[in-house]
Amino acid sequence: LQVKYESQRKILQTLASRLEELGIDAQKPGGLCCPLQPVVPSPIINGYRNKSTFSVNRGPDGNPKTVGLYVGTGRERNIVCVKANHVENIPSKHKQVAQCYEEFICHSPLDSCILFHEGGHWRELVVRSSSCGHTMAIVTFHPQKLGQEALTTQKDLLKEFFTCGPGAVCDLTSLYFQESTMTRCSHEQSPYQLLHGAPHIFEELLGLKFRISPDAFFQVNTAGAEVLYQAVGELCQATGDTVLLDICCGTGTIGLSLAHRVSKVIGVEMVEKAIEDAEWNAAFNGISNCEFHSGKAEAVLPQLLASWEDARPLVAVVNPSRAGLHYRVVRAIRNCRSIRRLLYISCKPEGEAMRNFLELCCPPDPRKKLTGEPFAPVLAIPYDMFPHTVHCELLLLFTR
């Protein structure tokens, strides 16, 4: 926690000096741009991950069908796939599914797909689980030149292995199969095919029940997310007439957990299936003051805010991926006068998020169409959402 605190302190020092370069007096005690609280520890340290991605590649023993995690880099050409048994943050259930998947592909006459152009079929495995005891497995498969009949055979064999064969010990709630010719593939590009079980798994968080689709975003540390979202609720300073704008909302966890504090929640999310989950979650939990918009935030948000004439106070919460927010999203937030308070949750604040922080706080710039009054960082709270790693989640509060 001390190591993580120091790394977050350096990030805030960097932000302060970058803002100084823009002519903004941002230096606070310790050279920080705003006060930094101690790192909030995770309630669970071991086996906290509710989602694990396992690769297929050559192991240290040369086995090309090893299922595990990569060590090494592509640049050095020294990648090796090692089993995840020693990794403390992965739950034993995920390791069990990975071990069974390895057993299955080792008995398959089809090769693993290490490099697309060299052929092979069996690719990565994603395992999702919940505190309700549900487990979802998603197998990615490169079809290469296999016909539909051959593909059906492989799907049947996989299903049989995990329902009647040795893999039945995993007691899967859902088994999905995705044919993919790309490194990453959305449901729209190549549908997730349900081979066995229920289409969703369910999670409970802050007294609410959430439905999770194969590719929907959900914080990887459920217990840690509860602590984080409670803080978000307090920092929003929401009153009964506040409208909460939840950008990159995933399955709606943040907005729905705060819906009882505000008059309305508006969620925006790129993944269509996640929006379906969010709408189901709202209905199931009896929450009627939420509306969700499907589409890229940079397309949806400018339209949403350009015509904003609601007199109610508007608070924005953003929780983007490591890539940060698209410039058009930052511009829409910045140029909407109603937003006086912004909570930015970043899993990689030293990366692209830093660009967002500067765009939010820089002086108005007509050339970049940044005409709105600048925000200022007022508080930073790091959360140890990823114990056993160097990563940290940073919650930054901006006001204007």
The catalytic site residues sit at 347
Residue 224 near residue 389, CB atoms below 8 Å: no
Q: Mutual orientation of helices 148-163 and 92-107 as an angle, nearest 10°? A: 130
pLDDT at 29: 80
**pLDDT band with cut points at 50, 70 and 90 for residue 87:** very high
Would you state the pLDDT for residue 120?
Answer: 95
pLDDT in tens, 311-352: 888 999 999 988 999 999 999 999 999 999 999 999 999 989
Query: With 90 as the cut, is the pLDDT of residue 111 above it?
Result: yes
Q: Strand locations in the chain, DSSP E?
A: 51-57, 66-71, 80-82, 122-129, 135-141, 174-179, 193-197, 201-205, 208-212, 243-247, 264-269, 290-294, 314-318, 339-346, 376-383, 393-399
The mean per-residue pLDDT over the stretch 52-77 comes to 94
pLDDT at position 27, please?
76
269 is in an annotated binding site: yes
Nearest C-alpha neighbor of 99 from the set 33, 52, 134: 52
Tell me whether residue 13 is annotated as binding. Answer: no
Give the mean model confidence (pLDDT) for residues 154-170.
98
- The pLDDT of residue 308 is 87
Domains, the chain: 1-43+221-399 (3.40.50.150), 51-199 (2.40.50.1070)
Tokens 């729905």 locate to 256
Q: Is the pLDDT of residue 135 over 80?
A: yes
Q: How much of the chain, in percent, has pLDDT values that exceed 90?
A: 84
- Separation CA 367–CA 93 (nearest Å): 53
Average pLDDT score, the chain: 94
Q: Residues 285-305: what's their mean pLDDT?
A: 94
145: helix, strand or coil: coil
Residue 118 clears pLDDT 80, i.e. is over it: yes
Q: Is position 219 annotated in a ligand binding site?
A: yes
Q: Which residue pairs from 176-180 have beta carbons closer than 8 angstroms and sit at least 24 positions apart in sequence? A: 176/136, 176/137, 176/138, 176/139, 176/214, 177/138, 177/139, 177/141, 178/138, 178/139, 178/140, 178/141, 178/214, 179/141, 179/142, 179/143, 179/151, 180/123, 180/140, 180/141, 180/142
Asked if the model's pLDDT at residue 12 lies above 80, the reply is: yes
CA distance 176 to 72: 29
In whole angstroms, what is the distance from residue 165 CA to residue 104 CA? 10
Check pLDDT > 90 for residue 207.
yes
pLDDT band at 183 (very low <50, low <70, confident <90, very high): confident
